[in-house]
Chain A
Amino acid sequence: MSTKTNIIQPNRQLIRPCTVVYGVLVVLTLVTWSIGRAGLGGLWVSLLVLGFALFKAQLVGDWFMGLRDIRGIWRWVVVIWLAVPGSLITLAFAFSHGG
């Protein structure tokens, strides 16, 4: 009985945080949509929305893809991917807002 618990326990420990992460993703999506619906714009609002998006994508990589426990280069694949377009988009929006 206790050995069965040993196997199932890690999966239960995965489901609970993933459910919380799903809730966080939904809330941030609703906030992003609300900002768009309100017609809010400008550099800082855009960067805030971009920050939400990058954070959400990192959550998906860490918890849904399961990269948070991986060692070595694969741990950083999503982080690096998000950093590159994230930086370029920030730069482009700064240009367009005369920054």
Chain B
Amino acid sequence: MSGGSMRGILMDTVVRHEQARPGYPPGDLAIWIFILAELLVFAIFFAAYAFARSGQAELFNHYQATLNRDTALFNTLALLTSSYFVVRGVVAAREGNNALCARWLWAAVAMGGLFLVIKASEYADHFAAGVSLSSNTFYMFYLSLTFFHFMHVILGMVILAAVAVKAGRDGYSPDDHTGVETGASYWHMVDMVWLILFPLVYVMR
């Protein structure tokens, strides 16, 4: 193959990547419909928390003080770091480096696992102290909101692990890595929701 035709093929790849972007977000369109539905549910949850709090601000402030903000900080940093790792994984997939992509995604899964361990230990402390959904309105919202998000982290980890396994088998290419972007989009949504949840539940008073 001549240098000129090789250059033409490579440039064509770049152009197709650029053209694939504009009208639609990265990843499969179906995951974005799913993401929109998830974001809507979380938005309703956040608004419900805020308005429930407005009627019982003293109770919410009192029990918010019992939460461990340090573990919440570590959880936020774990999710932010995992999201950054996912970005690096997507870049590696776009470059056709499947092995590197898989490593970044497994690192992101590990950070998700760290989040789960920290959050589970927080729940264990609460349950040991006798806290439950019926303790009061604050704990009802705190437990249900954070556990709902907890389940999304688990689902996100399963999706990222599936993508990482496929990348490890050389299953993506610079032309075909929609699966990586799909998993990445979902994971970033999980991260984004926590970025609102953390200050709302742990800090704002």
Contact = CB atoms under 8 A, between A and B. Distances in A.
Interface of A: 3-4, 6-8, 10-11, 14-15, 18-19, 22, 25-26, 29-30, 32-33, 35-37, 41, 46, 49-50, 52-54, 56-57, 60-61, 63-67, 69-72, 74, 77-78, 81-82, 84-85, 88-89, 91-93, 95-97
Contacts of A74: 23-25, 32
Contacts of B76: 29, 33
8 contacts: A3-B11, A22-B81, A22-B84, A26-B77, A46-B204, A53-B199, A81-B40, A97-B57
Nearest to B55: A96
Most buried by A among B21, B54, B55: B54
Contacts of B202: 36
A5 to B, nearest CB: 10
Nearest to B43: A85
B183 interface: no
A43 to B, nearest CB: 10
A60 B188 contact: yes
B130 to A, nearest CB: 24
B127 to A, nearest CB: 23
A81 B95 contact: no
Interface string B14-36: 10010001111110000010001
A10 to B, nearest CB: 7
